[in-house]
């Protein structure tokens, strides 16, 4: 079924919230199935638009899973409801994080990957808020748990974030560095971030700062690329770089 409900205890005063996720679109591999990547759309979008673009990429050995976020009120939009992986206000370190929304979406995403064959490499990617969600999943993977303490079950092999930001950056360095295992996982997880220098939705400096925050927290296998004069959208050159990076990091056969 394309729709699912997810309930997660957060330890917050509000108790439990139920999130109803939208339709999921799947792009089957045209060649040998070597990797599965969950790709996450941006605020107000859905999985369909990205599934069409991903299907056109020269990556025949990747299965793409493109879920749709729940529809919820978003503080950034004055409480207007739209598809969003979590609630978001001002994009700054001072803005409170919606841990319950982040954890519920991260668990929903991990659930897709938990049923993949053991010999298939798994990863998460996304654009804008989808990139933020991918990076939150990367930190959960390194820490070995969600923000609410529930164990994170997936061994991610690649994370891609386009035009996004890092939620939960406050205190991340301390959380990673107090655990040898977390530090090891952070250092070994390949991450590709890219951002347009003229982005007027998620400013370039926020993307740059997110990359810096990840790096000082111990995510050393990180590549940050900037695209001069590009706004809040993707361009063919950027997607070519994503293809090349995934082919290399996931050791894919017969791509490109």
With 0-12 / 13-18 / 19 or more C-beta atoms within 10 angstroms meaning exposed / middle / buried, residue 117 is: exposed
Taking the domain 4-249, which CATH number applies? 3.40.50.1820
Mean pLDDT of the region 206-226: 97
Which residue is catalytic, options 97, 199, 210, 255?
A: 199
Q: How far apart are CA 10 and CA 126, in angstroms?
A: 24
Catalytic residue list contains 180 = no
- State residue 11's pLDDT score: 37
- Give the per-residue pLDDT at 254: 63
What is the predicted pLDDT for the residue at 14? 39
User: 217 falls in which pLDDT band (50, 70, 90)?
Assistant: very high
Annotation marks residue 119 as catalytic: no
> Residue 41's pLDDT is what?
98
What is the pTM assigned to this prediction? 0.92
Q: How sure is the predictor about 1, in pLDDT bands with cuts at 50, 70 and 90?
A: very low
Q: Where are the alpha helices (DSSP H) in the chain?
A: 47-55, 99-114, 129-143, 172-177, 180-188, 204-217, 236-249
pLDDT digits (tens, 9 = 90+) for 11-51: 333 346 788 999 999 999 999 999 999 999 999 999 999 99
Q: In the annotation, is 128 catalytic?
A: yes
Catalytic option among 51, 105, 128, 169: 128
The per-residue pLDDT for range 106-127, each reduced to its tens digit, is: 999 999 999 999 999 999 999 9
What is the structure's pLDDT at 18?
Answer: 80
């Amino acid at each position: 079924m394309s729709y699912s409900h997810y309930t997660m205890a957060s330890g917050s005063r509000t108790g439990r919230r139920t999130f109803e996720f939208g339709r999921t679109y799947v792009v089957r591999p045209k060649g040998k199935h070597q990797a599965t990547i969950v790709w996450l759309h941006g605020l107000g979008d859905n999985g369909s638009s990205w599934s069409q673009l991903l299907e056109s990429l020269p990556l025949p050995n990747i299965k793409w899973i493109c879920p749709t976020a729940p529809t919820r009120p978003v503080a950034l939009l004055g409480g207007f409801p739209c598809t969003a992986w979590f609630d978001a206000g001002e994009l700054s370190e001072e803005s409170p994080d919606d841990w319950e929304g982040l954890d519920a979406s991260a668990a929903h995403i991990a659930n897709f990957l938990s049923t993949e064959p053991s010999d298939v490499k798994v990863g998460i990617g996304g654009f804008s808020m989808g990139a933020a969600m991918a990076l939150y999943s990367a930190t959960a993977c390194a820490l070995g748990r969600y923000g609410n303490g529930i164990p994170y079950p997936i061994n991610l092999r690649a994370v891609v974030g386009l035009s996004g930001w890092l939620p939960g950056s406050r205190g991340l360095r301390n959380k990673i560095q107090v655990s040898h295992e977390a530090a090891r996982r952070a250092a070994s997880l390949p991450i590709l971030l890219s951002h347009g220098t003229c982005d007027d939705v998620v400013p370039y400096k926020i993307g740059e700062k997110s990359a810096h925050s990840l790096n000082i927290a111990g995510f050393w296998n990180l590549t940050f690329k900037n695209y001069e004069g590009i706004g809040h959208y993707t361009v063919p050159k950027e997607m070519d770089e994503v293809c090349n990076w995934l082919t290399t990091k996931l050791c894919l056969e017969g791509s490109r």
